Each structure stands twice: as C-alpha cells, then as structure tokens.
Amino acid sequence: MSDTQTTLLNTPNTAPEVRNPAELPADAGEPVFEVSDLDFFYGSFRALRDVNLGIGRRRVTALIGPSGCGKSTFLRCLNRMNDLIPGTRVDGRIAYHGQDLYGQGVDPIEVRRQIGMVFQKPNPFPKSIYDNVAFGPKVNGLKPKSMDDLVEESLRRAALWDEVKDKLKQSAFSLSGGQQQRLCIARAIAVRPDVILMDEPCSALDPIATIRIEELMVELKQDYTIVIVTHNMQQAARVSDVTAFFTAEVDDAGHRTGVLVEADATSALFTSPKDQRTDDYITGRFG
Amino acid sequence: MSTSITAPAGRPAPSRGSSTSQTEAPRPITGKSISVGRRVRNTTATVLVGLAVLVAAVPLAFVLVYVVSKGGGVFNLAFLTESIPISSRRAGPGMGPAVAGTLLITGAATLMAVPLGILAAVYLNEYGQANRLAAAIRFLSDVMAGVPSIVMGLFIYTVWVLRFGMSGFAGALALACLMLPIVIRSTEGVLRLVPRDLREASTALGARTSRTILTVVIPAALPGITSGCLLAVARAAGETAPLLFTIGTVRALNPNLFEGTNTALSAQIFVNAQLPFVAAQNRAWGAALTLILLVLLLTIIARIISARFTVR
Ligand SMILES: Nc1ncnc2c1ncn2[C@@H]1O[C@H](COP(=O)(O)OP(=O)(O)OP(=O)(O)O)[C@@H](O)[C@H]1O
Ligand SMILES: [Mg+2]
C-alpha cells in the first residue's frame, strides 16, 4: 500500500513535502492523475488547500463532501475548465500521465479533448440530437470513416440509441432531462476521451434515469477513467472504486477553505473511515 | 400503519384551527372571499392601466390613420416604380427613384454597420469583458447612440462630402454611423443572454473560443441579433436629416452610389411637403406611407426570423 502511494505522489521534477498524503488502496491502479499540494484561488479567495490525490486508470473515483467544499473546483482543475474564469490561480502540481497539466507548452484545448466533462445540469446545444453528438468530432477535426456510425456508436454506449434512433434530426430539447443527460454523455464519449469528469450528473434526474446512468458508468469504466462528484452517498457506494472525502475548514479569520480529508477504497472508506470528520459526514452527523 | 402513509413527514397538515379541522367545511375559494377594499383597488388599477395604454396608443393610431388616408389616394404600384414628375405641379405618380435610393443607401449602410457592429459586440462580450478598451468602446457607443442624427450628417459632411462631394455612399456612411451603436448594444445584450452552460459544454469538448463563438454562441443568439439589426435598419431607413447634407435631393434615378447626388424617400418627403402644390404634397404623403410600410415589412420579417430560428 505504501508503495503505491509513493509512486503516486513522488512525481518527477517536484519534491514537495507531502503534508496530507491521501490514503490510497493497493488496487488504485496505474495513475492517470497525480495531484500534489494543489492550492486553488479564485482571486484572493483560496478555495482548495494542499490537496494530494492519485486517480487510477479505468476506475471510478467519487468525490464527496458538504456543499461549498470545493469538489467542483477540484474537478474543473483536472481539465483546466477553471482557466475560463478570470483571476483564478493554481498552485502545486497536477500530473496527467506524468506530464504537468499546467506546465509550459500544454495546450488546454488538447487537454479538454482528452479529458471530457459532463455537467450537473444537462446542457445540450440548441441543435439536433445528431449534431450534438457530431459536434465534438467535427470541432476536433476527427475524420471518422462514417460520422453516422460514430454517432450511433456513441449513442449506443450512452444507452440512448434505442430511444432516439428515429428522431436524430429533432432538437435535443425535445428529449427528457434524463435523456438529455445521456445525450451529453454520448457527446462527451464521441470525441473518444481518456477521462470523463462528471459533476453531479444525476442531480436533476429521477431514480430510474439515475440508475441507468450509474449502470452506464460501471460499463464505461472498462474503457475510461471516470471521476464523479456526487452528493448521494449511496451512489458513491454503488458506482465508485475509490472515494475521496473533501470538507471545508474554517480558519481563525473565518475563511472557508476546501481540503481533502481522506481518500480510500470506497468500501473501506464507508465501513471504516480513518478520520472522525469522514465518519460524521457519512453517518449524517454533518452537513 | 395507514397514518404513516397519509401523513408524510415532510408535509405537515394545515395548522388552521384545532384538531377538528377535518370535519370543518372547506374555506371558499371563490371571489366572494376577497374583501371589498381589495376589489376596489384592483378595479381602479385595471382602469388606470387601461387608460394609460389608450393614451399611448391614440397618437400612434392617429398618425397611422392620417398617413393612410392622405397617402392612400396616390399609393399604388406605379407610384413605387414611376419616376418623379419634372413639374411638381403635375399630379400623378411616382416615387420610384426615392424608393430605389432608400433601398440602396440603407442597404449599403447595413452592409457596413451590421458586420462591424456584430464583430464589435462579439469582442465586447466574448473577449473584452471588463478590460479598459472594452469599457471605452462601450462608453463611446453609448455616446454615439445619443448623438442627434443631424450632427452625424454634419460630421460626414465635413469629413467626406467636402472632399469627395455628395453621393449615395456619403449618405450610407452617415446612416451606418447611426446604426452602429444600435447594432453593437443590441447584439451585445443578446450575446450576454446565451447561457454560460453552452459555452462550457463547447469548451469542454475541446473547442477553441473562436470555434465556440462561431458554432455555438452566434447560432444560439441569431434570432435576437437579427431582430436587433433589422430594428436598426428600420430606424436608418426613416432618417432624413443626415441625408440632406450628404446625398442631395435630386429627382432622377441614380443607381450609382459612388457618383453624383441621390435621393431617398425621407428626403423626398421633406422636399415635397414644403412645396405649395397639392400634387407634390400628395406625393409626400404617398412617400410617407411607403416608408411606414417598408418599416412595417422589416419589423414583420424580424419577428418571423426570431420565431423561426429559436430552437426550443
Ligand atoms: N466562480 C467562482 N468565483 C469565486 N468563488 C467561487 C467560484 N466558484 C466557486 N467559488 C467558491 O469556491 C468554493 C467551492 O465551490 P465549489 O463550487 O467547488 O463547491 P462544491 O463542493 O462543488 O459545492 P456543491 O456541492 O454545492 O456543488 C465555494 O466557497 C464557492 O463560493
Ligand atoms: Mg459543485
């Protein structure tokens, strides 16, 4: 176990003092992300402090924690979506397959092509279902032998094909919320990413649509690395291999800063959390 | 067992009255339960609002009826196509050169102002945001929107007409200057309404900012942009003052915008209405009606376009 941890955290070119090492299970797998001593700032407001976490390949990693503790912020650091917000700053290092994600010469466009994202609220484009899925491949200059096939395959993988195969030319807004969210997943898959980040993808959905998307995640993890933010602890328990618990610490001046409390194999974290705060949270005594 | 089903914890029973409330008759939900005072206030407010609408609409309706009754007599197809009689005294059609002039000059102004204005708005909303240059451009376009049209005409007169002489193009320049701030501000407003979600979705798929703007933001905003631009066009089509210094008011048709004086409906209204001849005054009314119909047509097109291209 400590072996895995060392290889995950001692990334090349950095020798940061690891103050809050994330506990990782032995089967965390080959690392895709190695986050070390990550601080994140919105202007002068520090939203994250000293986050150290490894994210394993072809695993589902769940991020849980009370509202406002920085889960979304952390997730958006992983595909550089926070670059869009003026005045934000990243300290520390995020290695993606060993390369510094925020290093010189890294093209955030290429990063986002490889690291896809599904948002909390379904956000299809005001275009047809077909064009929604084809958008990513077109933008990225992918030239599949047949775009029709790529669209069909992506929709099939997102478990949506049967419901929409007869109305591909219709507006994406004609779909239900759950179907729209699966369309957004299909859209993300269509660019053949390496990682899929999901920020509370089921929060707007009913239990049945939620189950479908959970099944989908389990299936997708054969090929993709998935990181999911969720407020639903049953969901984290059902779909994830590793769970990371974040919380907000309040300092003397009253500033709230997000920290990673612990990360472990999901079963271990839910049955025997090492930190009292985790225990309080998962047993419902907090938040 | 049954209580746990019928009384879910999240929804407490109405706490009106005592525990006997179950047998109590339901409170009426008909209008009689509304107090007299509230009904009086409601009626008064309704009447006042109705009166205000009437007061606002009467002058509009009056103008419309008056123009139609005065100009309807001369308005027909020949009026739109025949040339203006050499002798103002003579009755009969038409206003052809002015119709052509208005269409050409306003069209040229649109070709200049709309692309420039949309690009400026894209810069302001998508790239500039809060930086100083953007703030300066925003401020200047607000000032420009407030400049009286006659001043804009004088401006083009000094910088262009004094050097190159009067031409349809000079008029188009003046109209473009008037349209530009309208296009910029209306387009920027519409772009701001495009949800951030859509931009993020596109960016997260690996689209560059320029690509996101061209393939997601502008298509989503197109109905609003179109109607904003057409309103600017309608406004420019009716302008008179800036044209008087820049195109002149000839009678003959001049299809060349870059050479020689030109004419437009608004200019012809101005000239003919001042003549002492009934025939000329009637033609002025006819031109006024033509202009109103033209603007009406543009407004209807704007409405149709916004309705047609809004994906829901
Ligand atoms: N664009 C922003 N500008 C400034 N501060 C922000 C911004 N977005 C988030 N924050 C702040 O950063 C902190 C973390 O926010 P974040 O959205 O990451 O929380 P979260 O854990 O995802 O919460 P939730 O579970 O409610 O989604 C919060 O205090 C929030 O106010
Ligand atoms: Mg969040």
- Supply the residue whose CA is at minimum distance from atom 5 of ligand 1: A42
Domain boundaries, chain B: 98-309
- B131 near A CB under 8 A: no
Which residue owns the Cα nearest ligand 1 atom 2? A42
Record the pTM. Answer: 0.79
Report the relative pairing of strands A195-199 and A225-229 from DSSP bridges.
parallel
Tokens representing A76 are: 């958006």
Within an 8 Å CB–CB cutoff, is residue B195 touching chain A? yes
Q: Which amino acid is at B283?
A: R
Of the candidate ranges A153-157, B91-95, B190-194, B233-237, the one whose mean pLDDT is the lowest: B91-95
* CA angle at A88 for the pair A86 and A90, rounded to the nearest 5°: 150
Ligand 1, residue A200: give the atom nearest the CA.
Answer: 27
The rounded percent of chain B whose pLDDT value lies above 70 is 90
Whether residues A125 and B205 touch (CB distance < 8 A) is answered with no
Q: Please say if the pLDDT value at position A287 is more than 80.
A: no
Whole-number mean pLDDT of chain A? 86
How far is the C-alpha of B82 from the C-alpha of B77, rounded, in Å? 9
- Phi-psi domain of B166 (left: phi exceeds 0; alpha: psi -120 through 50; beta: other): beta
Q: How confident is the model at residue A28 (pLDDT cuts 50, 70, 90)?
A: low
- β-strand partners of A95: A34, A100
Ranges A171-175, B159-163, B200-204, B257-261: which has the least confidence: B257-261
What's the pLDDT tens digit per position in A46-92? 999 999 999 999 999 999 999 999 999 999 999 999 998 889 999 99
Q: What is the pLDDT of residue B73?
A: 85
Instruction: Indicate yes or no: CB of B203 within 8 angstroms of CB of A112.
Output: yes
* Distance (Å) from CA A97 to ligand 1 centroid: 27
Q: How far apart are CA A286 and CA B32, in angstroms?
A: 50
State CA A245 to chain mean position distance.
Answer: 14
For atom 31 of ligand 1, which residue has the closest CA? A68
Asked if A125 and B198 come within 8 Å (Cβ–Cβ), the reply is yes
Average pLDDT value for chain B: 87
Q: Which of B129, B205, B213, B311 to mutate to test the interface with A (most CBs of A within 10 A)?
A: B205
Residue whose pair of structure tokens reads 């009904």 in the numeric block:
B39
Closest CA to B118 of B238, B225, B199, B264: B225
How far does B204 lie from chain A, in Å, by closest CA?
A: 6
A277 at the B interface (CB within 8 A)? no
Here the contacts of A139-146 (C-beta below 8 Å, separation 24 or greater) are: A139/B202, A139/B205, A139/B206, A139/B207, A139/B211, A139/B215, A140/A113, A140/A191, A140/B205, A140/B206, A142/A191, A142/A192
Query: Considering only CA atoms, which of A66, A94, A61 is closest in space to residue A269?
Result: A61
Find out whether B90 and B272 touch, Cβ atoms under 8 Å: no
Closest CA to B113 of B167, B178, B171: B178
Q: Taking residues B68-87, what's their average pLDDT? A: 88
pLDDT per residue as tens digits for the range A209-230: 888 889 989 988 898 999 999 9
pLDDT band at B141 (very low <50, low <70, confident <90, very high): very high
The greatest distance separating any two alpha carbons of chain A, rounded to the nearest whole angstrom, comes to 60
- Write out pLDDT tens, residues A97-142: 999 999 998 999 999 999 999 998 899 999 999 999 999 999 988 8
Residue B286 pLDDT > 90: yes
Task: CATH number for B98-309: choose from 1.10.10.10, 1.10.3720.10, 3.40.50.1100, 3.40.720.10.
Answer: 1.10.3720.10
Atom of ligand 1 nearest to the CA of A256: 29
**Cα of B225 vs its chain's centroid, Å:** 11
CA of B110 vs chain A CAs: smallest distance (Å):
28
pLDDT tens across A155-170, in order? 998 889 999 999 999 9
CB of B222 less than 8 A from some CB of A: no
